A = this chain, B = another copy of it.
Amino acid sequence: MTLPTIPSLLDAPAGVAAALAHAIDNKTKPLGSLGRLEALARQVGMIQQSTAPELREPAILVFAGDHGVVAEGVSAYPQDVTWQMVENFLAGGAAINVFAAQNGCALRVVDAGVAHDFGPRPGLADRKIAKGTRNFAHEAAMTADQCRQALAHGMALVDTLPGNVIGFGEMGIGNTTAAAALMHKLAGIPVAQCVGAGTGLTADGIRRKQQVIEAATALHAGVEAPLDVLAAFGGFEIAMMTGAMLRAAERRMVLLIDGFIVTSALLVAARLQPAIVDYCVFAHCSGEQGHRQMLEALGARPLLDLDLRLGEGTGCALALPLLHAAVNFLNRMATFESAQVSEQSA
């Protein structure tokens, strides 16, 4: 399997960047007054190499998977919640259903490795690698072959999308534990700063989670290469997202990055292809402790900061209107000349 190569947008021809700056500065508004929306418009313009970029058929993919490490008591909810929430997604009752529908975003649910037999189900893409990963407290979460399979499925899923905007979401009881381990290994941040309450652990629970990760990193001490780290600690949903992210950036899509777990998948992708962050819009800073530092490790500044810590891609769905606003002002606002408005006199 060959993984995609992602070119930096900074290496793009300078003409488009200058044309975008000119277009943005000539809109009927004080220079720079649309703040971060201007940076967002520039970014989307650079990704599409156009001064009139378009957002077509945005879709959020929710990847679900189970984690063997839940046997260590690292989650406030039982493992069955993973498949029960997949059923909730399919029935339309979860937060991501509500927010995606509100903001005109398609939603796809992917079984990357849930410990449950769904059978053939409309609306559910069956890409199950196995019924949950193994317990990384005792052995690698997945084999190298399973990791490759998950990456390949992620890439192939992106090839089926009709649009040019992809949001990433996830569901998996125990996956903040996997994400915290990835963060520690790939960003070199002490475990204590990577571990948070997840779905609602007590302080005792958080301490236990930290001990589990510290013991596991000692067990897998020699593992350093990004894909080896992914296989040792990751989830199938995380690995599948990493593959999907790499392909989406290769296809010059806009990548909407959600919270703690989704960002951990990007951390793997960015260790392989650092330029991938040029294609990423960071939807929000999660309330999960550790996310802010994880974003800093990627040099990322999130759009929203609403104490969300739900996952599912909810941050992506909520940030989507801001992405539309950036593209819309660029395409639809009048210029000083067209509107006959006087320019700055000072």
Contact = CB atoms under 8 A, between A and B. Distances in A.
A133 to B, nearest CB: 20
Contacts of A37: 306, 308
A346 B76 contact: yes
A88 B318 CA distance: 29
Contact of A342 (B81, B306, B338, B343): B81
Contacts of A78: 342, 345
Interface residues of A, number: 65
A306 B85 contact: no
Given A34-B95, A339-B84, A318 B307 contact: no
B318 A200 contact: no
B29 A98 contact: no
A77 B309 contact: no
A125 interface: no
Contact of A318 (B84, B202, B321): B321
Given A36-B307, A346-B201, A346-B205, A325 B93 contact: no
Interface string A311-346: 000100010011011001100111000111111111
A215 interface: no
A84 B334 CA distance: 12
B308 A33 contact: yes
Interface string A288-315: 0000000000000001111111100010
Interface in A97-125: 97-99, 102-103
Nearest to A202: B346
Give 10 nearest A-B pairs by CB, closest first.
A93-B334, A35-B307, A76-B346, A30-B199, A33-B310, A321-B321, A36-B306, A84-B341, A88-B339, A35-B308
19 contacts: A30-B309, A34-B95, A34-B314, A35-B309, A36-B306, A37-B308, A77-B343, A77-B344, A78-B345, A81-B341, A84-B342, A94-B334, A97-B333, A99-B325, A102-B325, A201-B346, A205-B346, A304-B304, A305-B305
